[in-house]
Structure 1
C-alpha cells in the first residue's frame, strides 16, 4: 500500500465510483435521477478532497484498490471545506435530500466515539479485480497503519455480504441503525 498523491485523484474517484455504484448507503444520499452516476462520482471526489486534507488516501501497490481514511478530530471548518460542502449539495445530494442527508450524518456522528479514531470512510476495489484478495491485502495494511497511528478503526457498511469479511479481520458490529436500509457500525480495537 502507498499513500496516494493528489494526481491519483481521478483513478481513486473512478475506482470508488464503480465500487459503490449500487451501494444502498451511497444511493440513499445521492439524488436519484438521470445523473445518478455522475452524482456518485461527485461524492467520491468530495470524499477524496476531505480525506486528502484531513486524513489519508491510500492506493494498493497495483493501483487496483484504494481507501479513504478520515481523522475526524483533525477535520476543521475552513472556507475551502464550506465550498466543498456546497459543491457536494449542488452536484450530488440535491436540495431535496439535504435534510435526509444531514439527519443521517448527525446520527453517525452521535454514534461514533469522541476519541481519536481511524475512520475508514471508503475502501474499494476496481470491480474487474474483485474477489482476488486485493481488498483483503489492503485492509490488512490499513489495520497495521491504524496501529502505527494508535487509532482504532471505525466504519459503516450497508452491504450485508461484507459483514463476514470484516469480522474475519477482527471487526465487530457495535451498533445498527434503520434508515430505508440497515446501516451497520463496525469497529476494530488496536489489540
Structure 2
C-alpha cells in the first residue's frame, strides 16, 4: 500500500491529540461519554490528551508520516497487574470531574479485558475524517499485526462501531464473548486475534 509509518515522539503529542479528537467526534462511544455536540466539541479533546499521555509513557503510538492517522498500542504482559482503581477516578478528575462516564468507560472496558496471555492491545486508532476510506487504518493495524505474527503474539481491541468491527474481522479478529452494552448507550465488541502463520 506504500503508507509511511513511524513511531510518534513527544513532540507529536499535540498533533496526535488533535487527530484523535477529530477522528472520534462522531464515534458512538465518544457520543455516549460526552453527550451533546457542543459539550463534546469543547471537552472531548481532554480525554484524548489523557489517553495520548498514557500511551506515550507506557506504550507506542504509530503515526502515518503525513499525520493523517495514528494507532495507540500497549503491550500487555501475561501476568498483567490488577487495574489501579484510583486511576479511573484520577482520570475523571483530570479530564471532566462532573462526568462519571469518563471513569465508567475505563472500569467497564478493564472489566472485559482478557488476562493470562501476553498480547498487544490496540487501545484506539484514529483517521482524520478527511482521509478516511483510503486504507490508512488498515495499514496501521497490519503494521503491528505483522510483528505479532512474527513474534507469536495475539492482539486485542474493543471495536466501538459496526464499521470498525467489520474492518477488524477482515484483519483476522473475532468477537470474544458478549458485546459490552454501555448503560443507555452503544455496544462495544471485545475482539481477539491469534497470531497467524506461527
Taking structure 2 as the reference length, the TM-score comes to 0.80
Moved over 6 A (4+): 74-78
Give 3-state SS (helix, strand or coil) of 1:71's partner.
strand
* Residue 6 (str. 1) matches residue 15 (str. 2): no
Distance in 2 between residues matched to 1:102 and 1:45, nearest whole Å: 15
Range with bigger deviation, 106-115 or 50-59: 106-115
Aligned to 2:21: 17
Give 3-state SS (helix, strand or coil) of 1:36's partner.
helix
Aligned length: 185
* Residue 70 (str. 1) matches residue 71 (str. 2): no
Correspondence list, 1:122-133, <5 A: 122-133=124-135
More helix by share: 1
In structure 1, the gaps of 5 or more residues are none
Aligned to 2:159: 157
Alpha-carbon shift at residue 85 of structure 1 (Å): 6.0
Distance in 1 between residues matched to 2:107 and 2:145, nearest whole Å: 26
Alpha-carbon shift at residue 13 of structure 1 (Å): 0.9
Give 3-state SS (helix, strand or coil) of 1:131's partner.
coil
Correspondence list, 1:38-57, <5 A: 38-57=42-61
Give 3-state SS (helix, strand or coil) of 1:22's partner.
coil
Alpha-carbon shift at residue 29 of structure 1 (Å): 2.5
Give 3-state SS (helix, strand or coil) of 1:154's partner.
strand
Distance in 1 between residues matched to 2:82 and 2:193, nearest whole Å: 25
Alpha-carbon shift at residue 113 of structure 1 (Å): 1.5
Aligned to 1:60: 64
Give 3-state SS (helix, strand or coil) of 2:133's partner.
coil
Q: Is the 8 A contact 1:30 1:92 kept in 2?
A: no
Structure 1 residues 9 and 183: alpha-carbon distance in aligned structure 2, compared to 1, 3 A threshold: same
Taking structure 1 as the reference length, the TM-score comes to 0.83
In structure 2, the gaps of 5 or more residues are none
Q: Is the 8 A contact 1:154 1:187 kept in 2?
A: yes
* Residue 177 (str. 1) matches residue 180 (str. 2): yes
Give 3-state SS (helix, strand or coil) of 2:176's partner.
strand
Give 3-state SS (helix, strand or coil) of 1:94's partner.
coil
Distance in 1 between residues matched to 2:83 and 2:190, nearest whole Å: 25
Aligned to 1:118: 120
**Superposed CA RMSD:** 2.7
Alpha-carbon shift at residue 148 of structure 1 (Å): 5.0
Aligned to 1:29: 33
Deviations 1:136-166 (A, max 9, x none): 1112112123345643211112211222211
